[in-house]
Structure 1
Amino acid sequence: MPTIQPPATVLVTGASGYVAVPIVKELLDRGYNVRGTVRSLAKGDYLKNLFKAHEPRFQYVIVTDMSDPDAFDDAVTGVDAVAHTASPATLRAPDAQALIKPAVAGTLNILESVKKHGSSVKRVVITSSCATILQPKEGDPVFYTEADWNDHAVNEVQAKGAEVDQQHKYRASKVLAERAAWDWVEKHKDEIKFDIVTILPSFVFGPLLNETRSLSQLNESSLFFYEAIKAEKPPHLATKWFSNIVDVRDVAVAHAQAFEIEEAGGERFIAASTPFSWQTIYDALNSADPPIADIPKGTPGAPIENCAVYVSEKAQNILGVKFRSLQETAVAMVNDLREKEARWTA
C-alpha cells in the first residue's frame, strides 16, 4: 500500500479531543492538509482559531452523531487518509452499551463511508487503547504486547451487565470497537483499496491543546492528574501500579508516522513509555530541575507495586517513535495545568 506524504489531505475524526488536537497539529506541522470532524460550530471555530497560522490547510466539518450510518459520507470524500480518533472516553457511563454502541458504530461507519465514498483513501489509522490488551496475568511485573487481547473485560460485561464496574465498560468498548475494525477489513479485503493501522496509547498525559476554559472541560486522564497533584496528601495506594504513561505529543507522532511508513499497514502499535504509580509522578516532579513547588511527597523512592509493562518496541522500531520520559511529560503537564488554572480563577 502506498504511503501518505504531505501535502495529502487527512481526515481527523473527533478533531477537538485531547488526543486528536495534537494529531491535527502534528499533521499540519508536517505540511498536510487536515479536515477535522467536530460536533459543533463552536468546537470547529476554536480549532480554526488555534490553527489560524496554517490557514487554509485546516478546515472542519460538523458530524453531530457518528452512530448515524451516513455520518462520515461527505467528510471522507476527497481525502487521502483518515485518522479515526472519535470514541466515547468516560468512566461515568450509565451502562456498558452507552460506550460500546457508539464506539463500535463509529468505527464501522467510518470504514463503510471510506469504502463507499473515499476512493482516494489509502490508509485509515484508528486510535484504540492499551485497554484492549490488559488481560489479567500472573506475575510482578507482567508484560503486554500487541498479541494480547482483553477478552476478560468483554466477558465481565456480558456476565454482569449493569453491575459491571466502569473500567470494564470502557475497556470492553475499546476491545469490541478495535476487533470490529479488524473483522470488517478481513470481511471486505477483496473490495477495498485501503488498509488500517491501530494505535494503542496507554494512559495519556501531557500539555493540553484542546479547549479547556474551566476545570469541568478537562478530559478524564487530565482530571486524574490534576486531582492527584492538588491533593493535600497522596491518594490511597499511591505506590500501586496505575498504568503506563505516554505523552500526548508522542501519540500524535505515532499516528503521523503510521501514515508515512509502508510497513505499518495492517499492524497494531502500542504507544507507551514507562509504568507509573502516583508516587513515581510525585518523585519525578519533586526531583525536576528546578523542582516543581507544592507537590505531595508521599514515600519518596517507593517501588511500583503489582507492576505491568506495555512493551512498545514495535512502535519504536517500525514507527521510529522516541517516547518522552515520565519526568518530561509530568513537568510539561503540571506547568500547563497550572497556567490554565490561573486563567480559570482570574
Structure 2
Amino acid sequence: MPLVQAPSKILVTGASGFLAAHICRILLEHGFEVVGTVRDAKKGEYLQHLFESFQRKFTFIVIEDIQETGCFDEAVKGIDAVIHTASPFHLVADDPQDIIGPAVKGTTGILESILKNGHDVKRVIITSSTASVIGPKSTVPYTFTEADWNTYSVELIEKEGKNAPGGHKYRASKTLAERSAWEFVEKHGKDIKFDLATINPTLVFGPSIHEVSNFKYLNESLAQFHAYITSPPKTQSIIGSSGNYVDVRDTALAHVLALEIESAGGERFILSNGPFTIQKIYDILREAGVSNIPEGCPGQDQDVVHSPEDGSKATRLLGLKYTTMKETVMDTLSSIQQRFPAVAAQ
C-alpha cells in the first residue's frame, strides 16, 4: 500500500519554479490536494489559474524568505507529506559561506518546522542534485551511484575558501545541504514520525509551465539549451559529452512516486537518462526539419557509451520510465518558441 495516498494534502515549497510547477501538476493529476509556497502572491495566482481545472485543489502560501526562522511553522500544519524544492535565491557569492549557510538553513528550517508542527507529515522529499554526488575519481571510467558523495568540493572550499572556483562553492552547498537533512533525521530519529528521500537530478531539460515574465529570468538549463542553438560553442564542446540529462517531467514524476511508494523512504535517487552531446541535439532538431539549427559536425560527435551517473535505481524502485531524448529535445525547443517567439527566432 502506498505510504501517502490521494487525496492527502501535500506541501510543495518553491512551487513557482521550473520543476516544482510540474510536480504540482502531477500531484493534482494523481488526485492529491496541493499547497504551494511562493515568494509573492502573483506567482501563486498564476499557478491557481494554471491549475484551475482541478477544482480548487491548489492553494498557495506566501513565504518571502525561506531562511527566516520558523517561516514554515504554519505551513506544515495539517500536511501529510512535504516536497521541498525551494532553495535560496542568491547562488553567487565571494564568500562560500554566503551560499552554504543559506542552503543548509533552507533545508534544516523546514525539517525543524515539521518536527515542531507537522504532526501529520509521513514523508519528506527533498530536491537535491547530482552536484552532491559527483566529484573527481582516481579510477576512470567511474560510474557514480547514490552511494557516492561529493566530498571533493567540500574539502576544496575548506582549503581555499573565497579563492575556490565558483562552481565548487555551489556544489559544496548542495552537498552540505543534503547531508544536513540526513543528519537531522538521524539525530531526531526517535522524535520524528516522518522519513526522508532525496531526488538527485542531472541537468534538467524539458518544457516549462511556470510563470516567467521575461526570457532573462528563464531557468539556467533552458537558457543553456537556447544558447546551444543561438550561440554554438567551439567544435570540441559540440562533439564531446556535455554531461548527463533528464526530462523535467520525469524528474517531477519521480518526486511523486517517491511519496507513493513506501520502500522509497530512506533512499537517494539519481535521475539521469544518460549522457548527451550538443551535436546530438542539433541532429535531432535538423532531422525533424527545424529551421535555423546549427549543423555542427555531423558524424564527428563522440560515441558516448559510458554513463558517469547511474539513473537506473529510480527505474528499479520507482518504476520510472525515462522520456526519449528526441521527445525531450523537441518539447524543450517548442516550449521556448511558444513562450518567447521573438527570442527563439534570433
- Is TM-score (shorter-chain normalized) higher than 0.5? yes
Partner Cα separation in structure 1 for residue 139 and residue 339 of structure 2: 40
CA distance in 2, matches of 1:106, 1:91: 13
Partner of residue 43, structure 1: 43
Which residue of the partner structure matches residue 16 of structure 1?
Answer: 16
Instruction: Please report how far the alpha carbon of residue 186 of structure 1 lies from its aligned counterpart in structure 2 after TM superposition.
Output: 0.5
SS at match of 2:99: helix
Distance 2:15 2:122 in 1: 20
Summarize the alignment of residues 43-122 of structure 1 with structure 2, pairs less than 5 Å apart: 43-88=43-88, 92-122=92-122
Aligned residues: 344
Task: Report deviation, 1:234.
Answer: 5.2
Question: Gaps (5+ residues) in structure 2?
Answer: none
Q: Is residue 2:193 matched to residue 1:207?
A: no
Q: Distance in 2 between matches of 1:41 and 1:189?
A: 36
Distance apart, 1:103 and its partner CA = 1.3
Q: Which moved more, 1:122-131 or 1:223-232?
A: 223-232
| Residue in 2 that maps onto 1:309 | 308
Q: Deviations over 1:154-205 (max 9, x none)?
A: 1111222222222111111110000000011000001111000000010000
1:68 is displaced (CA, Å) by: 1.3
Aligned 8 A contact 2:134 2:144 in 1? yes
Q: Partners of 2:161 and 2:303 in 1: how far apart? A: 32
Matched position secondary structure for 2:74: helix
Structure 2 counterpart of 1:178, which letter?
E
Contact kept? 2:92, 2:99, Cα under 8 Å:
no
| Kept after mapping to 2: 8 A contact 1:207/1:332 | yes
Cross-structure match for 1:169:
169
**After alignment, is 5-14 or 237-246 more displaced?**
237-246
When residues 119 and 343 of structure 1 are mapped into structure 2, their CA distance, relative to the original with a 3 A threshold, is farther
Matches for 1:117-266 after TM superposition, within 5 Å: 117-138=117-138, 141-231=141-231, 237-266=237-266
Contact 1:276 1:304 in 2 (8 A): no
Paired AA for residue 168 in structure 1: H
In structure 1, the residue matched to 2:292 is: 294
What percentage of residue pairs aligned between the two structures are identical?
A: 44
Compute the displacement of 1:278 (Å).
1.6
Distance change (3 Å), C-alpha of 1:8 and 1:298: same
Alignment-mate amino acid for residue 294 of structure 2: P
**What's the TM-score once normalised by structure 1's chain length?**
0.94
CA distance in 1: counterparts of 2:78 and 2:292, whole angstroms: 51
SS in 1 for 2:59: strand
Q: Is the 8 A contact 1:206 1:329 kept in 2?
A: yes
CA distance in 2, matches of 1:312, 1:159: 32
Is this contact kept in 1: 2:337–2:344, CA < 8 A? no
